[in-house]
Amino acid sequence: GIDEVREAVDFCRYYAQQARQKLGREELKGPTGERNELFHEGRGVFVCVSPWNFPLAIYLGQITAALVAGNTVLAKPAEQTSLIAARALELMFEAGLPKEAIAFLPGDGATLGGVFCRDPRVVGVCFTGSTDTARIINRQLAEKEGPIATLIAETGGQNAMIVDSTALPEQVIKDAVGSAFTSAGQRCSALRVLYVQRDIADRVIELLKGAMAELNVGPTHLRENDIGPVIDQEAREGLLAHIQQLKSEGRLIAEATLPAGLNGHFVAPVAFEIDGINQLKKEQFGPVLHVVRYDAADLEKVVAAINGTGYGLTLGVHSRNEETAERIEQLARVGNLYVNRNQIGAVVGVQPFGGCGLSGTGPKAGGPSYVLRFANERTTSTNTTAVGGNASLLSLGDD
């Protein structure tokens, strides 16, 4: 959609701006008689492996950061979105990108990854996708010959939102429904587990049921629809298996309605009540929300349980108590914390995006450290009084 096109443009402009600011030569102060300069140069061949859920924005963001730092690029898009990637590359060539600066590698990720991750000419991989795939890439890069390779990874999450009793329930529902179900829940940042303080849980769940009843599922080129399909049949089957399991346990809160005769890989947005985040063995990458009630005295235990998953991508907090929000910020181990708003839609340049732990290596995409990770940092120190000496001292000798 238009939001992704805008984000792709933002990445291009932001990384160009960062390159102008940070990749030139910078003089560093040192002892008198010395000139010390810091500068950056490209590392070599970078592989950029992008996902299907942001087939234009993340694809272009990775590529432009690598190119502007002085590297050449092997561009490996997701198999499901290769046509978008190919068209974007055509437009880049029309804009003046030299064709020798980039190679397009559509195809099966496992097959291609087994080749380029072991090639001694590759100096780094920029990857967005699953944590399991990132581990495989990391191991293969570690075993290859040639330079020690860089891995820049943004991976999975088990993203939660914590809601205390001071929060506004109507605002909570607006942000929770948007965070959990926008893009059919197929965002790295999407809300998976909603923790609600027991004192207001009944009211929040009542509002959640009402909001979900208003969701329209169907092809999103029709303006009346809110929720589109999941990416493919394999994804749909995995989600439906998880949904059926929780339904069999009697934990259903609400489920949106699928129109009769709707064809395609659609999954109705659904919400369940569970006992805690530890019940979830993996991220369910789709429109499935899990709700947990907690007691006020257990707030720090809730944060500890979220941290205990090992993931650290996004965390939402809804509270009108600033001390509570600040305490959660201190305890949480996440890359992106959102207070009293939704937890999707990070903005390039002002909300750099990326996680820690099992959710990625950093530095954050769309942030001030990202481009530098693609470059080698070099310094040159020159003794300006040697080899002919200081010109002002030599002039004294002429007298």
Among residues 88, 160, 158, the alpha carbon closest in space to that of 130 is found at: 158
Max CA distance (Å), the chain:
101
Q: How far apart are CA 337 and CA 328, in angstroms?
A: 9
Q: How far apart are CA 135 and CA 13, in angstroms?
A: 31
State the DSSP string of 123-188: EEEEEES-HHHHHHHHHHHHHSSSSPPEEEEE-----EEEE-TTS-HHHHHHHHHHHHHGGGG-ST
User: Tokens 């790295």 correspond to what residue?
Assistant: 188
**DSSP secondary structure code for residue 363 in this structure:** P
Q: How far apart are CA 324 and CA 256, in angstroms?
A: 33
Residue type, 192: R
CA distances (Å), origin 103, targets 42, 55, 62, 137: 17, 17, 14, 19
On the CB side of 306, CA atoms within 13 Å amount to 32
Residue 154 is among the residues annotated as catalytic for this protein: yes
Please write down the HEC assignment for all residues of 103-119: EECCCCHHHHHHHHCCC
Q: Angle 230-233-238 (CA atoms, 0-180°, nearest 5)?
A: 80
Residue 27 is among the residues annotated as catalytic for this protein: no
The active-site residue, picked from 12, 48, 188, 273, is 188
Q: How far apart are CA 233 and CA 242, in angstroms?
A: 14
Q: How far apart are CA 92 and CA 56, in angstroms?
A: 12
Q: What's the burial of 171, exposed, middle or buried (CB within 10 Å: 0-12/13-18/19+)?
A: middle
CA distances (Å), origin 302, targets 98, 172, 193, 308, 342: 52, 18, 11, 10, 19
The active-site residue, picked from 12, 48, 117, 154, is 154
**Bond from prior residue into 363 cis (ω within 30 degrees of 0):** yes
> Who's near 335: CB < 8 A, 6+ residues apart?
312, 313, 314, 353, 354, 355, 356, 359, 360, 362, 364
Q: Which residues form the catalytic set?
A: 154, 188
